[in-house]
Amino acid sequence: MQNDVRALREAAGLSQGALGAALGVSRQTIQSIEVGKYDPSLPLAIRIARYFGQHVEGIFHVS
Amino acid sequence: MSRELTSPVRAYIGLAAGLAVVVALFFVLRTASDSVALGALVGGLSVVALLAVAIWRARRGTATASLTRSAAGVADERDADVMRRSLAVGGSTSLIWLPGSLVAIVLGADPMIAVTVALYGQLATLVVAYLVVQRSR
């Protein structure tokens, strides 16, 4: 699954650690999600989407 | 799964339980050999101390390693996923290590050596599995 988390994070001027802290996960988890190594759970995907004010399907795309 | 769902309280309970096991093991082993009991006590207390440091670092938010967070009970969902997959590999390979050691004993191997090899082989498998899974996730 591909996603736009990195682009959204960088547009918001956030570090991976800061986004992780805001979402209650580690920096490594954010990094793994951004590079597509780890697909977040649905609750985390929803939290990410809500954080950036978007829908889940607007951020995560099935490749 | 978020950090809130994996309570650090469980880590403290585990720490206390580990300490109790180490002390009990010391008194049990002392009936057989003082030096073995002392070795188990020092080794066990070292592990408990390392775990306490891991919990302390994780609680301060300075833990940067997935394993440290998992040990401290503040694992996030990826940490838990890495641990779950690693343990799954470890559990699966135990079906090779343990029967393998039994076969070796039946074939005439020294039981202590066979069991020790199986134990350390199992531990090595877990460590390697953890490292591989963590790099892939």
> So what's the pLDDT on residue A33?
96
Higher pLDDT, A47 or B9: A47
> So what's the pLDDT on residue A16?
95
Q: What is the DSSP string of A32-55?
A: HHHTTS-PPPHHHHHHHHHHTTS-
Segment B80-136, tens digit of pLDDT: 999 999 999 999 999 999 999 999 999 999 998 998 899 899 999 999 999 999 988
Which residue among B4, B76, B136 sits closest to A29, beta carbon to beta carbon? B76
CA distance B41 to B103: 33
**Region B11-36: what's the mean pLDDT?**
86
pTM greater than 0.90? no
Domain ranges within chain B, ordered by starting residue: 1-75, 77-137
> So what's the pLDDT on residue B5?
39
Residues 27..46 of A with a Cβ closer than 8 Å to B: which?
A: 27-29, 32, 37-38, 40-41, 43-44
Report chain A residues whose CB lies below 8 A from the CB of B81.
38
Question: Is B78 within 8 Å of A25 when comparing Cβ atoms?
Answer: yes
Flag whether residue B84 sits within 8 Å of chain A, measured between CB atoms.
no
> So what's the pLDDT on residue B3?
45
Question: Is B76 within 8 Å of A38 when comparing Cβ atoms?
Answer: no
User: If we measure between CA atoms, which residue out of B75, B53, B61 comes closest to residue A29?
Assistant: B75
Write down the mean pLDDT value for chain A. 94
Residue A37 belongs to what domain range? 2-61
Question: Is A25 within 8 Å of B69 when comparing Cβ atoms?
Answer: no
Q: Assign B2 a pLDDT band (cuts: 50, 70, 90).
A: very low
> So what's the pLDDT on residue B1?
42
HSE-up (13 A, CA, CB side) for residue B38: 3
**ipTM entry:** 0.85
Check whether B15 has a pLDDT greater than 90: no
The answer to whether the Cα torsion of A34, A38, A39, A42 is positive or negative is: negative
Both tokens of residue B50?
């390392």
Segment B36-50, tens digit of pLDDT: 888 888 988 988 888
**Packed helices A27-34 and A16-23: angle between N→C axes, nearest 10 degrees:** 110
Question: Is B79 within 8 Å of A29 when comparing Cβ atoms?
Answer: yes
CATH of the domain at A26: 1.10.260.40
> So what's the pLDDT on residue B112?
87
Rounded to a whole number of angstroms, the distance from the CA of B74 to the nearest CA of chain A is 10
Report chain A residues whose CB lies below 8 A from the CB of B85.
none
Flag whether residue B3 sits within 8 Å of chain A, measured between CB atoms.
yes
Q: Assign A45 a pLDDT band (cuts: 50, 70, 90).
A: very high
Q: Which amino acid is present at B57?
A: R
Check whether B73 has a pLDDT greater than 80: no
Segment A23-41, tens digit of pLDDT: 999 999 999 999 999 999 9
Flag whether residue B2 sits within 8 Å of chain A, measured between CB atoms.
yes
What domain count does chain A have?
Answer: 1
Flag whether residue B78 sits within 8 Å of chain A, measured between CB atoms.
yes
Higher pLDDT, B128 or B67: B128
Check whether A20 has a pLDDT greater than 60: yes
